[in-house]
Amino acid sequence: MRGPVAPPQVPLSVSRAEVFGDLVRDSVERLERRWPQLSEVDFLVLDVPRAPSAEGAEDWTDEPVPLGGVIASGSTGEGSPARVVVYRRPVEIRTKSRDERAMLVHEIVVEQVAELLGLAPESVDPRYGQD
């Protein structure tokens, strides 16, 4: 119901996808202060990872569902930036609270950035793995 508590310009609710996107942005902002080159990287949130092609489908079922991934620069076209992807639904399924989700999202982002930069996660964020 709209009124003094909820004026028309304020959404009555925020979707889970928007909240999740905010968690990823918060994590990226934390890392960009230490690693300014990350401003050249695209960070994406996708609902779920894409299923592999038919010939490799049986191999995928033996692997755990990925929570994130890295797409190297130039792999989607000449001059395309590197991309870090975080998969929303697998992360949501593995977490119970917003705080737990925020911690897992940050760990995933740190791990993917570390892979992209060729560093250990602890080098990317010294607090990696700490509660």
Residue 58 lies in a domain: no
Distant-in-sequence, close-in-space partners of 30: CB < 8 Å, separation ≥ 6: 106, 125
Number of domains observed in the structure of the chain: 1
pLDDT tens digits for 41-85?
A: 999 999 999 876 656 555 556 678 899 999 988 776 777 899 999
Helix axes 98-117, 16-34, angle to 10 degrees: 50
For residue 43, what is the domain's CATH number?
3.30.2010.20
User: What 3-state class would DSSP assign to 87?
Assistant: strand
At 26 the pLDDT is 97
Which domain covers residue 83, as residue numbers?
Answer: 16-48+66-123
Report H helices in the chain: 16-34, 57-60, 88-94, 98-117, 121-124
Q: What is the pLDDT of residue 63?
A: 74
Residue 2, in any domain of the structure: no
Of 28, 19, 118, 116, the C-alpha closest to 69 is: 116
Helix, strand, or coil here: 69? strand
What's the pLDDT at 58? 58
Q: 11 lies in a domain?
A: no
**Does residue 5 or residue 20 have the better pLDDT?**
20
Q: Does any domain span residue 22?
A: yes
Q: Is pLDDT of 9 > 90? A: no
113 occurs within a structural domain: yes
Q: Across the chain, what does the average pLDDT equal?
A: 87
Question: Is residue 73 in some structural domain?
Answer: yes
